[in-house]
Amino acid sequence: MTQLAEFSISGTVLTPGQDGYDDARRLWNAQHDRRPAVIAQVQSAEDVATAVRYGVANGLEIAVRGGAHSVAGTSSVDDGLMIDLSALNAVTVDAEARRARVGGGALLSDLDAATQAHGLAVPAGMISHTGVGGLTLGGGMGWLTRKYGLTIDNLESVQIVTADGSILRAAEDENPDLFWGVRGGGGNFGVVTEFEFRLHEAGPMIHYGMLFWTVDQGAEVLRLARDLFPTLSPDVNIVVAGLNAPPAPFVPEALHFAPGFALVVVGLGSPEEHAEVLDRLRTALPPAFELVTPMPYVALQQSLDEPNAWGHYSYEKGSYLEELSDGAIEVILQEFPKKTSPLSVALMYRLDHAYSAVDDDATAFGGKRTDQFAVFIVGQAPVPELYEADQQWARSFWSALQPHTAGIGSYVNGMTDAEDDRIKATYGLKYERLQQVKVKYDPDNVFHLNANIRPA
């Protein structure tokens, strides 16, 4: 291998044993303990290009670290090169043009803080310490998806370093094939060093309601949610959650850590509309407890940070459900209570309205643009012993749900085990087109630590 002295960037290069190396290699998911041969803490696109060329020339596997949130641990690599983008976290907002330029290493918290200063937002994920890059490249879904679509639906352009070290701009008017591929095709085509997003009005205050029912009422809760969604405007979003009640002051002590089902109701419009939805829920099925309050949009974005904190052991399986059929509900009721860890959850995001308004082939997103649910089965635990049990729980739950799914694979950002057949099922007819993009920009599959698209 070429001597490290020949590897020079404006940022910092770390190797095992150096101060800062162990902190820099740490990942969000404690299940993964990778030890790269080299960590390049880059400060510019030029640094990234230098690092990529260095890795290729020396035969090093290359991992790209943004927020380090990859459930599969692909933000790092043993004995290879980790390109650490965390210093590329600047967010510049043009409020008048409603555009934001976002560094490839920014976190959702960086993005939200900068845009909410102007009452604007990018549709993104629900955990603020997630990296913008990984989330966006896989699609990006969250509280604003029903109203404004996926994160990729609001992407104007990217600056990207490809496998040969070129620094390119990709947009509708420049390298459009690459721009299509990065909107859903993951990190297969290069290292994105900057995103340009369109912005929308959201916040700074939203209306929040969390209603919780005990596990024995699960069938009624899920059917109630199923009947409610078609009547909701895009200004209201509801996440359906199987979870344990938190030991919070608003929760009756007898229900602390009790398993059950919650509907998290977020209102982006008028308080009256939000209150009307909550009243419909209470009237149909009085909850065991509830929390209803206005809150800042940034607080909403941070509301799931603690149960998804760094240092937990995590495993995830996902699917798409075309509907919450009676058969799917029966599986959920059977499988959800089998979990062991209080941190493990089953979540359902509703995908419709703005999500479904985008043409299927407009982006490389791995999921049909029809009204449906994205299901996330997350086995998460503070210690390895609980994790092992709930990893198996997630797999069994997912397998039992498969006869009721849409048969189109799963969301790549929720795919811990990225097997070839699951990736092909996810992208369907788009897979061959993605292979052609891969051949053009990464023919040697340099960027393969991801939900990998193999070159044709």
Q: Is the pTM of this model over 0.85?
A: yes
Place of tokens 């509703």: 350
Tokens of 20: 């800062």
ω into residue 16 within 30 of 0, thus cis? Answer: no
Q: C-alpha dihedral over 320, 326, 332, 337, to 10 degrees?
A: 170
Q: What is each CA distance from 203 to 25, 54, 387, in whole angstroms?
A: 35, 44, 37
pLDDT in tens, 382-391: 999 999 999 9
CA separation for the pair 69, 413 (Å, rounded): 10
Question: Across residues 140-146, what is the average pLDDT?
Answer: 98
Query: What confidence category does residue 6 fall into, taking pLDDT thresholds of 50, 70 and 90?
Result: low
pLDDT band, residue 3 (cuts 50/70/90)? very low
Task: Name the nearest CA neighbour of 320 among 139, 67, 180.
Answer: 139
Q: Which domains does the chain have, with CATH numbers?
A: 8-84 (3.30.43.10), 91-202 (3.30.465.10), 205-414 (3.40.462.20)
Name the DSSP class of 324: -
Q: One-letter amino acid identity for 285?
A: L
For 318-327, the pLDDT digits (tens) are 999 999 999 9
Q: What's the pLDDT tens digit per position in 254-291?
A: 999 999 999 999 999 999 999 999 999 999 999 999 99
Note the pLDDT tens digit of each residue in 23-36.
999 999 999 999 99
DSSP category for residue 71:
T
211 Cβ neighbours under 8 A, 6+ residues apart: 262, 263, 265, 278, 281, 282, 287, 289, 290
Report pLDDT for 213. Answer: 98
State the pLDDT at residue 35: 98
